[in-house]
Structure 1
Amino acid sequence: MTTALITRTDRTVPITVFARTTASPATAFRIVAPIDLSRVFRPFGPLPGVARVEGQTAAWDRAGVSRNPVFTDGSRVSEALTEYVDGHGFAYELTGFTNVLARLAAGVRGEFSFLPDGTGTIIRWTYEFKPLPGRRWIIAGPFTPLWSRYMQRALDRMAAVVEESAIMEG
C-alpha cells in the first residue's frame, strides 16, 4: 500500500477553481478525465504549458496508473492517479518536479469533482500543495494568485472542450 503524499496533520495550501458546463456530470467526467493535457495547459506568464505526456502505459481510468507530463520549458513531473470514481471524480498526486516547484513543494494532490448543477455540471478542481519546510509563505502568498489564474484558464479550456464534445455527440 502506498503512503499518501498529504496527511491530516500537514499544513497545505489548497487552491480551488470552478467552471460550469451544460453537459451532465457523467459526460463532463468522461471527457475531462482522459483529456489531452497539451490541449488545455498552455503557458501563462512565467508558467509553462504541457508539451506532451510520456510513460503512460494504460488508460487514465483507475487508481495506480501513472504518467510523466513534460512542460514546454523542458521540465517534467511524475503524476499518479490515486482515486477514480467513474462519473463523479478523480484525484492524483504530482511529485518529482524538475522546475521551480521542486524548490517550493514536496508535491501536489489534485482533485476533480463533477457536481450536478441543474441539467449541467459544476466542475470543481483543487490543487493542494504540500510546501517544503519554510516555503509555505511563498505558495500561500505571492504564488497563489498566479497559480489560481493558470488553473482557471486551463479549467475554462476543459469546459470548452466538454461543450464542443457534447455538441458533436448531439
Structure 2
Amino acid sequence: MTQAPLTIQRTCHVPVPVADCFALFTRLGAQEYIHHDAVIAPIVQVDRAPGQTFTEIGDVQHITFKGGYTIREELLAFVPNRQFVYKGTGFTQPLLTWLDHAKGSFEFEKNGDGTDITWRYNFYLRGGLGAAVKRGVFNALIVNVIWNRMMTKTLSNLTQIITLRALQPGRTE
C-alpha cells in the first residue's frame, strides 16, 4: 500500500518578468542557490552526462554533498516559462534513506511585473515495519523543521540572485 506523500511548498516573488526569470533560473547550478548550513551540507558537485543540461525530459544529474552524500535526480517535465518537475532517488543522507523517492517542482507564474516561484517537494517514504513512526518523525524533523528552513532560505537566495543578474544586461552566466 502506497502512502500519501508528505508535501511542503514555499513561494517567493521575484521582481523579474516570467520569461527572464525562468531563463536565468534554468542557467543556475543548484550549488549556486541551494541553502546550506550546519545541518544541510553544501553541494560540492553536480554531474550530468555529456551534453545534458537538465532541461530535457529524461536528463539525469547526480548531486554530491560535502561528506559524500548523494541524490540522483531525473527531469520528468519541462514546460518553458512555466515549470519543471524532477524525481529524486538514491538519497544517502541519514534519515533521507527512509525515502523511496521524492518529487520536486518549480513553478513560475506571472504576478504583476514579476514572477512568483513556487517550489513544491513531495516525499514518498518506504513502507514496512515502523512506517507510521518513521512518517511522524520524518514529518516533524525533516519536513517541518529542516526542509522548511532550507526552502525558505533557498528561495530568498534565488530572489536575490535572479534579481541581481536581471539587472546585469549581457551577463551569460
TM-score (normalised: structure 1): 0.88
Structure 1: distance between partners of 2:47 and 2:37:
22
- What's the C-alpha RMSD, in Å, of the aligned pairs? 1.6
Question: Is contact 2:56–2:78 with CA below 8 Å preserved after alignment?
Answer: yes
1:126 and 2:126 correspond: no
Structure 2: distance between partners of 1:150 and 1:42:
6
Q: Which moved more, 1:100-109 or 1:110-119?
A: 100-109
Query: What SS is found at the alignment partner of 1:109?
Result: strand
Report the equivalent of 2:72: 78
Residues 86-132 of structure 1: CA deviation (Å, up to 9, x unaligned)? 11110001100111144321111000000111110110000110012
Query: What SS is found at the alignment partner of 2:117?
Result: strand
Alignment counterpart, residue 55 of structure 2, candidates 48, 57, 61: 61
Structure 1: 5+ residue stretches without partners: 1-8
Structure 2: 5+ residue stretches without partners: none
Q: Which amino acid aligns with 1:123?
A: I
1:48 and 2:41 correspond: yes
Once the 2 structures are TM-superposed, how far is the Cα of residue 73 of structure 1 from its aligned partner?
A: 2.0
Question: Is contact 1:108–1:128 with CA below 8 Å preserved after alignment?
Answer: yes
Question: Number of matched residues?
Answer: 162
Question: Is contact 2:35–2:157 with CA below 8 Å preserved after alignment?
Answer: no
Alignment counterpart, residue 22 of structure 1, candidates 2, 15, 19: 15
Q: Which of structures 1 and 2 has the bigger CA Rg?
A: 2
TM-score (normalised: structure 2): 0.87
Instruction: Give the 4+ runs in structure 1 shifted more than 4 A.
Output: none
Structure 1: distance between partners of 2:33 and 2:162:
12
Question: Is contact 1:56–1:68 with CA below 8 Å preserved after alignment?
Answer: no
1:11 and 2:17 correspond: no
Residues 13-48 of structure 1: CA deviation (Å, up to 9, x unaligned)? 111011111101111111112311111124223121
